[in-house]
């Protein structure tokens, strides 16, 4: 068990963070901390304000290190926590936007911040122009985090690490688990628009989804777990209205979509770009209701419902386990996020710590490297 108190933390930034969050803690403050090697968990209770303390409380993981910025940017946890908290005050979808950016970044060329790069003719063919990234949002939140970080720690923290850390903070502030966030990624100086085809589509069958995840060393459990991020956020109607009447050219509705829910969605979808909650019960809370919805045939996307309704699939049992235990879901979510966050760009990829997350640094800077 890991209890949050000054004696268990490391360094001055940990002590300051403890003082910051202590008024919000219960009588016996405890953290949910997951480790991909042990799957250990301290407690089923979690206070959202302890999001980034996990950075100070774990050994190095893989090639990345949760202590990477302890001395070069000790303010980083505070900056991310404060900026994401501010974003959530005015935008209920801010948390979902951030985790989607991280996911879309890692599945195209590894976790290198390349999803954030905008077009530069002859230099950058932006991943933002790829169909799977059509309509992706949240870059303004990343810009705000980056600006605050650069003000305190210029040229130190990568945009790729900002995506990883802000995703964790966003989940915790929405009621979800904390996990150790390994840090030390670099930002790619290139984009790979074609690689965005690796991203799962809302129209795909379970076999296709599993093959896409397996290509990155991610298992069926990782697929079901990471899909659980659809417990909050919204989707545009154009991604699921095809399930209403002529599903897969059958002339019939998708039989795995609850009929009453289908008609409710039909009423909500005034236009193809209208956004509808992924979770009709607790739309802005990170919890296990996503899996309960799948059991009730209320998965919004075909790709969601495939996890439960595909006959004979190994994913059905995983959905059932998570629907029965939020604790198990939270443990595995941290493990799978670490695993996904460890996806690296191809060796030799030119890299740097970007000063502006949307643009590569000028060639005159001295921050270039290779991954």
To the question of whether residue 200 is assigned a binding role by annotation, the answer is yes
Query: Do residue 317 and residue 172 come from a single domain?
Result: no
Q: Per the structure, how many domains does the chain have?
A: 2
In a domain, residue 1? The reply is no
To the question of whether residue 282 is assigned a binding role by annotation, the answer is yes
Nearest partner of 51 among 27, 20, 74, judged by Cα = 20
To the question of whether residue 112 is assigned a binding role by annotation, the answer is yes
234-236 and 369-370 strand pairing: unpaired
Catalytic annotation on 368? no
CATH number, domain with residue 275: 1.10.420.10
Residue 241 phi, psi dihedral angles, 5° rounding: -70, -20
Q: Which residue range is the domain that position 307 belongs to?
A: 206-340
* pTM of model > 0.85: no
Query: Do residue 324 and residue 350 come from a single domain?
Result: no
Query: Do residue 194 and residue 262 come from a single domain?
Result: no
To the question of whether residue 287 is assigned a binding role by annotation, the answer is yes
| Tokens, residue 26 | 């219960």
Output the pLDDT for position 47.
Answer: 38
Output the pLDDT for position 59.
Answer: 38
What secondary structure letter does DSSP report for 40? -
Burial zone of 89 (CB within 10 Å; 0-12 exposed, 13-18 middle, 19+ buried): exposed
To the question of whether residue 231 is assigned a binding role by annotation, the answer is yes
In a domain, residue 20? The reply is yes
Query: Do residue 187 and residue 96 come from a single domain?
Result: yes
Name the residue with tokens 């009423």. 267
| Tokens, residue 199 | 């991203």
Query: Do residue 332 and residue 352 come from a single domain?
Result: no
To the question of whether residue 256 is assigned a binding role by annotation, the answer is no
Catalytic residue among 102, 104, 297, 368: 104
pLDDT tens track of the chain, all 371 residues? 333 333 333 333 343 343 334 433 333 223 344 333 333 333 333 333 333 444 334 333 447 999 999 999 999 999 999 999 999 999 999 999 999 999 999 999 899 999 999 999 989 999 999 999 988 999 999 999 999 999 999 999 999 999 999 999 999 999 999 999 999 999 999 999 999 999 999 999 999 999 999 999 999 999 999 999 999 999 999 999 999 999 999 999 999 999 999 999 999 999 999 999 999 999 999 999 999 999 999 999 999 999 999 999 999 999 999 999 999 999 999 999 999 999 999 999 999 999 999 999 998 665 556 56
């Amino acid at each position: 068990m890991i209890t949050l108190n000054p004696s268990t933390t490391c360094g001055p930034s940990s002590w300051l963070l403890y003082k910051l969050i202590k008024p919000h803690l219960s009588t016996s403050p405890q953290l949910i901390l997951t480790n991909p090697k042990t799957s250990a968990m301290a407690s089923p209770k979690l206070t959202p304000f302890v999001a980034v303390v996990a950075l100070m409380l774990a050994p190095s993981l893989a090639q990345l290190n949760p202590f990477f910025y302890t001395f070069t940017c000790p303010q980083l946890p505070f900056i991310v926590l404060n900026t994401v908290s501010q974003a959530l005050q005015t935008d209920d979808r801010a948390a979902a936007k951030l985790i989607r950016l991280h996911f879309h970044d890692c599945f195209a060329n590894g976790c290198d911040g390349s999803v954030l790069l905008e077009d530069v003719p002859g230099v950058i063919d932006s991943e933002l122009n790829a169909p799977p990234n059509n309509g992706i949002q949240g870059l303004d939140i990343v810009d705000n985090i980056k600006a605050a970080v650069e003000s305190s720690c210029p040229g130190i923290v990568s945009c790729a690490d900002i995506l990883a850390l802000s995703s964790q903070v966003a989940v915790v502030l929405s009621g979800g688990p904390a996990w150790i966030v390994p840090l030390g990624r670099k930002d790619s100086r290139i984009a790979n628009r074609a690689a965005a085809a690796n991203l799962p589509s809302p129209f795909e069958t379970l076999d296709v989804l599993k093959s896409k995840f397996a290509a990155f060393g991610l298992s069926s459990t990782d697929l079901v777990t990471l899909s659980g991020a659809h417990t909050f956020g919204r989707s545009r109607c154009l991604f699921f209205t095809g399930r209403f009447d002529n599903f897969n050219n059958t002339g019939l509705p998708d039989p795995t979509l609850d009929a009453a829910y289908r008609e409710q969605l039909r009423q909500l979808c005034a236009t193809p770009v209208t956004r509808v909650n992924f979770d009709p019960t607790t739309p802005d809370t990170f919890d296990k209701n996503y899996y309960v919805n799948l059991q009730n045939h209320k998965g919004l996307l075909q790709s969601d419902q495939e996890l439960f309704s595909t006959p004979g699939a190994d994913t059905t049992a995983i959905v059932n386990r998570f629907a029965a235990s939020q604790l198990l879901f939270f443990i595995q979510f941290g493990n799978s996020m670490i695993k996904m966050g460890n996806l690296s760009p191809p060796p030799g990829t030119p890299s740097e710590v970007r000063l502006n997350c949307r643009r590569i640094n000028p060639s005159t800077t001295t921050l270039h490297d290779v991954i």
